[in-house]
Structure 1
Amino acid sequence: MTYDEAISYLYDRLPVFHRVGVSAYKPGLTNVLALCAALGDPQTQFKSIHVAGTNGKGSTSHLLASILQAAGYRVGLYTSPHLKSFIERIQLNGVPIAEADVAQFVTEQQATIEQIEPSFFEVTVAMAFAHFARHQVDVAVIEVGLGGRLDSTNIITPLLSVITNIGWDHMNVLGDTLPAIAAEKAGIIKPGIPVVIGEVIDETALVFEAIAAQNNAPLYRAEASWQCTDDGLANGVRQLACKRLGGEGHQLLQIELPLLGLYQLRNVQTVLTALDHLAPHFSIDRSAIERGSRDVVKQTNLKGRFQWLQSRPTVIADTAHNKPGIEAVMASCASLPHTALHLVLGFVRDKDVGEVLALLPLDAHYYFCQADSPRALPTQELRNMAARTGRVGEGYSSVDEALAQALRQASPTDLILVTGSTYVVAELTSL
């Protein structure tokens, strides 16, 4: 197979979450274990860090990978979904897997795939693990796809587990209470393996403590370990002052972060706490932390996290797609000086769109669109829903067309935000 043939085979034969939603989700580890067994169990052949959470797990994973890379290590990074190309999901020191390697994997494993009948995601996880084992990474940072306990990535035994936060998302799969969602994500906690919790709220604290205790897993709270404060923007990057709360070692870090969203402060606290507990395994000095943070976009190709696309008017793209994510993005927008706010919006239909719309300002200018995905909420349906809440705007046939109209209407001092779905942001030509 060629690369294009291999990708078409995976998309056409296997259920793909971003196309069909929850029906593509195959909970349980049987398929991925069978796939990996056929590959010689590559998941046992490299060290790993496992990252789960409702929001922030992608940024946290990229930051960890970038800092470890800056410290001189050979670092694998597995994330999902991709924005522009499938090969973004599997990286080695910031270099995506070669298209030829994807084609070879699918060609060689076609018979096994057809025998096991896994999901698209299960195949990509097995492919990533085989890639990291073959290239003998020093460590791989593995982002959970959905949930944790039954996620295909949960066949690894990591050096450290990280759970960024718990919020309302995928309730039809993970549960309809925050403790239920927390229990699913806490399923990545392994016996004796330390776990870092990025954000703890009253409703989830007891869940984490109980599951960690059952597994005799030391539990650490990021907010009790590090405190990061915002020193504003300078030279296009956010300036953070990060202070260790107690303990020895470097007490204060000055971090320059090209990820401009204020919500990244919590992610950085989580990353710094994780690095503290990776110290027995890796030598990571202050300069590696500062360089890895500053160069995270360049070193790991991270896109769509409050990404600055242009000035005058300012255009920001963010993949936020649920209530806590949109709340965080709107807080970050409020921190940027601007005259008027223009929102280019599109959602998938299986989100609580009404709840998210209620978070958006009534006085913003709205441009509604939809991604080219069967899961996308149709533009006219979104426009009608928004109008019923007092948020009025026109509909457009593509994300680029909606952004082009926003650019025509915005003044140089205005702010344009493109958000609502990973798949909407992915279709921006300017990304």
Structure 2
Amino acid sequence: MSPAAPRLPALLEALGQRAPRGMVLGLDRVREALAALGDPHAGLAAVHVAGTNGKGSVCAMVESIAREAGLRTGLYTSPHLSRFAERIRIGGEMLGDAALEAALSAALERVPSPLTFFEALTVAAFVAFRDAGVDLAILEVGLGGRLDATNVIAAPLCTAITSIAFDHEALLGPTLADIAREKAGILKPGAPAVLGPLDPEADAAIEAAAQAVGAGPRVRVARAEHGGRAGEIAVGRAGRAGPGARATRVAGPAHGAIEVELGLRGAHQAENAGVACGVAWQLAGRWPEIERALPAGLAAARWPGRLERIDAGGAQVLLDCAHNPHGAQALAAWLDEEGPGAARTALVFGAMADKGWGEMLQMLAPRAQRRFYVTPQGRAAAPLEALREVAPGEPIGDPAAAVARALEGAAPGGLVVVTGSIYLVGEVRSALLGIAPDPVVTL
């Protein structure tokens, strides 16, 4: 902590004490708080991104592109891996101590009613963006969209919905159409919307919502090998890429094509890059330099904990925040294409009990010969013995001990995959990189 932020520890403690209230969906408290602070979000040039998976990656790509174009950016994401300040970034860097103190002080002490943990950080982000004078704010939805605290943005420059899959059904609904309608709540009159590849049921629900609200033009992303309709953004592997290469081609209906080695790993990132390009092309009408910055911005984008490799002696640790079956499918595809093979792969797996951990483990277990089951911090985790019933493995519980055990038996060039929960990845990443973490908050 810097000398200019003497009150920050007390403010962070007060923020953490609000976490047990959990997620309380709704916009009234946030609007009231923002009004008391002079509506720092009013007039903010913003991009708003929702989706079951991929929204963080898309936000990271759009932010990198905008920064490469010379814009002063603000980025708001959740959850954090190690530090609360990761959630609010200015110009690609975590909010500094003095700025974080000022923003938290406003959100925690100068508003008429107590906010939840997530609401307070959302308000703090808007205060920080106003104080920093950002040119463009990129906002990741926390949960759903319609009632998420970030949805106080009334007139975004562009919205995006990256994907729709089953997750948080208790809050968002039991069908893909229900989930899609909740996420479509971020669509606004006249604002363009970029849609990742969607199931027809979800696409139809979003299209109906877009028409009802009078949203701007919809631009869809499709895999080039799947054909696609006129006006879509086509994504796929570039012709010059060989096996294992990450060269991606993105072709827009009115913007030509770009080929770039994405900074983010995984074949699924091609679709996220397509969404990011769609957003960037919309923003280029206001900032023409964004179009020229696309290749460099996509190549420079980083998003910790997403197929992130960390050297650990003779082996490597692969951290991936796959926390639902859709994410596990993407990780499994990467392991099939770029992994060292099951014989040289160990899996450290732990998941929240309310996730589809059985389906996730069924996909990942065949891709690792050795498996270690752990209990992530946060809310209730999947029982270790239940994990063993899905696939044989060693229940260890403590993530650090499991990673150490996996590395002990790793062959040279082997891979230890840590996945199943964002909070597990954050805990292990902090330990491997020597970061003193803030408390785990599952919001």
TM-score (norm 2): 0.88
The residue that corresponds to 1:359 in the other structure is: 363
Match of 2:127 in 1: 130
Deviations 1:283-311 (A, max 9, x none): 235551122122222xxxx2001111127
> Counterpart in 1 of 2:408?
408
CA drift at 1:87? 0.6
Q: Which of 199-208 and 45-54 deviates more?
A: 199-208
Identity %: 35
The Cα shift of 1:279 comes to 1.9
Aligned AA (2:210): A
Give the Cα separation in 2 of the matches to 1:279 and 1:111: 39
State yes or no: 1:25 paired with 2:19: no
| 1:95-118 deviations in Å (ceiling 9; x for gaps) | 2112223323334554445x4121
2:229 is the counterpart of 1:228: no
**Residue 258 of structure 1 corresponds to which residue in structure 2?**
263
Q: Which amino acid aligns with 2:327?
A: G
Amino acid of the structure 2 residue aligned with 1:138? D
1:377 alignment partner in structure 2: 381
Q: Which residue of 1 aligns with 2:55?
A: 57
2:316 maps to what in 1?
314
In 1, Cα distance between the equivalents of 2:52 and 2:346? 26
Kindly indicate whether residue 402 of structure 2 is the aligned counterpart of residue 394 of structure 1: no
TM-score w.r.t. the length of structure 1 is 0.90
- Give the secondary-structure state (helix, strand or coil) at the position aligned to 1:407: helix
Partner residue in 1 for 2:192: 194
| CA deviation after TM superposition for structure 1 residue 324, in Å | 0.3
- 8 Å contact from structure 2 (residues 284, 291) kept in 1: no
Check if 1:8 corresponds to 2:8. Answer: no
- 1:269, 1:143 → 2: CA distance? 17
In 1: Cα distance, 2:72 partner to 2:118 partner: 24
Matches within 5 A, 1:61-210: 61-113=59-111, 115-156=112-153, 157-210=155-208
Aligned length: 410
Q: CA deviation at 1:337?
A: 4.2
**Equivalent in the alignment of 2:432:** 430
1:350 equivalenced with 2:354 (yes/no): yes
Cα displacement (A) at 1:414: 2.9
CA positional deviation for 1:386: 2.0
**Partners of 2:339 and 2:30 in 1: CA distance:** 48
CA distance 1:112–1:393, shift in 2 (3 Å): same
Give the conservation status (yes or no) of the 8 Å contact 1:191–1:215.
yes
**Cα distance per residue 1:325-352 (max 9 Å; x no partner):** 1111111111114132211111122213
One-letter amino acid of the structure 1 residue matched with residue 237 of structure 2? T
Amino acid across the alignment from 1:421: S
Q: Distance in 1 between matches of 2:301 and 2:250?
A: 20
Distance 1:337 1:353, change over 3 A: closer
What corresponds to 1:303 in structure 2? 304
Deviation, 1:133, is: 1.2
Q: Deviations over 1:371-420 (max 9, x none)?
A: 232x1416xx22x112222x122223432221111111121243321101
Q: Which amino acid aligns with 1:121?
A: F
Moved more, 349-358 or 35-44: 349-358
For the residue of structure 2 that corresponds to 1:335, the secondary structure is helix
Q: Aligned partners of 1:133, 1:221: CA distance in 2, in Å?
A: 32
Query: What is the CA distance between 1:26 and its match in structure 2?
Result: 1.1
1:213 alignment partner, one of 211, 216, 237: 211
The whole-number CA distance in structure 1 between the counterparts of 2:76 and 2:290 is 24
- Identify which range, 177-186 or 225-234, moves more after superposition: 225-234
Distance 2:242 2:118 in 1: 38
Q: Shift in Å at residue 257 of structure 1? A: 1.9
Aligned mates of 2:252, 2:16 — CA distance in 1? 48
Q: Indicate the residue corresponding to 1:328 in structure 2.
A: 330
How many angstroms apart in 1 are the aligned matches of 2:318 and 2:63?
24
Decide which moves more: 215-224 or 179-188: 215-224
Whole-Å Cα distance in 2 between the matches of residues 82 and 360 of structure 1?
24
CA distance in 1, matches of 2:158, 2:432: 36
Name the SS of the counterpart of 2:89 in structure 1: strand
Cα distance in structure 1, aligned partners of 2:245 and 2:287 = 27
CA distance in 2, matches of 1:229, 1:191: 35
